[in-house]
A and B are shown apart, each in its own frame.
Chain A
């Protein structure tokens, strides 16, 4: 069995795949990669299955030794990856020779980078997924973020990796933006004026207190007009809930599965990967779209991501 040895873990590095959707009845949230588009492309570039488990690094990457060598692909944020002082380009398969380490640093653009390995990271599945859920300590590598000294099994290379390349323009269309498209939330009528202003392009700042569970936003105070107590209900991925103090929180991949705060809007499926690439102190805006438009954008994105012909040169 080949290994990946964690020489330094970085700020927050976890094993993630597409998550374990479908266990809401057990109170289990899906978890999974914060930027599922980057994870998919990184894996496909290695001819892995799209949802093969990879390392998700956050803002500051680590150093990872491959005693037996490996073929890897980095996807998402640029963490300045190097081997022996030589830069490793993003979105390209790279052969790492036995005994070499991949060294990553602070981000130069977005929040998360995926280190995908040909053959994948070998961790036991929990409810059909290798994803780490930090709050409950379930899934992934011992249910926790990686630490110095961890040794993770990685897949064995079974064939030669072709030098796959993304077609020109593919990344431009999927580049994580700072304007998030949203549909109205189930309680948007609790905020008659604020919802209007928010959706008309008001600016919000991503707070330092943001993580995989949710992103707290600083900005115009959103006061609910209706003071009725809300009955807790299921919360969709990307829901923007408003606390009694008027703060907006985007519920994200490790979200609580139910909640009792009103939801003013919801990030559309086609923009969820952008949420995963937001950094603290980023300024963001919202733009309202109809359910029909959101669905059309989702279908188009899924078609593109499902078409090897359109993705690869």
Chain B
């Protein structure tokens, strides 16, 4: 575990130095313990691939005191059982108007569109963390064969439900927002609903699989 002051009220806790299962499991355990046994002066926890950003009440504690407390939590978290990961299935209608970049991605890698879809649905993905906007889950790792860099110029608006890829990550846009990921399909599911419990369809630590559906199935699920 490595600490780094991020601001006068925030501390970064690194649980690894590279993206992967080891750091991710450390992050998930520590997040779960901090949720189970909250610390009164912690104002916010922001997990990411290898780190947690802890925002704290600086009128109560300083960085050194936060480090001591988190070291304690880390020791306790290591002893926690990993817990069963939930498997979430996300239906996706690939290509066409829903996946305007599918052909481009295929061409870049010398593949057929169907092969890109096969590679995308073959894996079970880890939910590393949620960020960017509510409900935006960073999923990995995408097969090397279809890893594609972001668009040079992000789109001004990406439709809600769009499934994108960027590098070795994949994600679903929960809202119509600007976005630079390559869009290969769309899900009829709502990733974030404030009138649902839990609000997020996918949570940190969940496993995610994508399932291909037809346009007719997409429209039927949308109506339902």
| B174 interface residue (CB < 8 Å to A) | yes
| B118 interface residue (CB < 8 Å to A) | no
Q: Interface-forming stretch among B57-65, B94-102, B181-189?
A: B57-65
**How far, in angstroms, from A235 to B9 measured CA to CA in the complex?**
12
| B8 interface residue (CB < 8 Å to A) | yes
Residue of B nearest to A292 (CB): B62
Flag if B12 contacts A186 (CB, 8 Å): yes
Kindly supply a per-residue 1/0 record for chain A positions 118-130, scoring 1 wherever the CB is within 8 Å of any chain B CB and 0 otherwise: 0000000011000
| B18 interface residue (CB < 8 Å to A) | yes
Residue of B nearest to A302 (CB): B59
Flag if B48 contacts A233 (CB, 8 Å): yes
| A263 interface residue (CB < 8 Å to B) | yes
Taking CB atoms, residues of chain A closer than 8 Å to B79 are: none
Taking CB atoms, residues of chain A closer than 8 Å to B19 are: 231
The one of A30, A266, A299 in contact with B44, judged by C-beta atoms closer than 8 angstroms, is: A30
| B177 interface residue (CB < 8 Å to A) | yes
**How far, in angstroms, from A292 to B4 measured CA to CA in the complex?**
15
Taking CB atoms, residues of chain B closer than 8 Å to A267 are: 7
| B154 interface residue (CB < 8 Å to A) | no
Tally of contacts, chain A with chain B, CB under 8 A: 142
**How far, in angstroms, from A136 to B203 measured CA to CA in the complex?**
18
| A291 interface residue (CB < 8 Å to B) | yes
**How far, in angstroms, from A186 to B53 measured CA to CA in the complex?**
11
Residue of A nearest to B18 (CB): A231
Interface residues of A in 1-54 (CB under 8 A from B): 21-28, 30
Flag if A24 contacts B46 (CB, 8 Å): yes
Taking CB atoms, residues of chain A closer than 8 Å to B139 are: none
Interface residues of B in 109-160 (CB under 8 A from A): 129-138
Flag if B7 contacts A238 (CB, 8 Å): yes
Interface residues of A in 219-249 (CB under 8 A from B): 231-239
For chain A, give the interface size range: 35 or more
Taking CB atoms, residues of chain A closer than 8 Å to B62 are: 291-292, 295
Flag if A266 contacts B45 (CB, 8 Å): no
Name the distance in Å between A258's Cβ and chain B's nearest Cβ: 4
For the complex with contacts A23-B44, A28-B134, A136-B134, 19 further pairs of A-B residues with Cβ separation under 8 Å are: A23-B134, A24-B44, A26-B130, A27-B131, A27-B132, A27-B134, A30-B44, A126-B194, A133-B134, A234-B131, A236-B53, A236-B55, A256-B132, A257-B46, A258-B131, A267-B7, A291-B8, A295-B58, A298-B8
Q: What are 19 inter-chain pairs, A to B, with CB distance below 8 A?
A: A26-B134, A136-B175, A183-B5, A183-B8, A231-B49, A232-B48, A233-B49, A233-B51, A234-B6, A234-B48, A236-B53, A239-B7, A266-B6, A266-B7, A268-B7, A298-B8, A298-B9, A299-B58, A302-B59
Interface residues of B (CB under 8 A from A): 4-10, 12, 17-19, 31, 35, 43-53, 55, 58-59, 62-63, 129-138, 174-175, 177, 192, 194, 199-200, 203-204
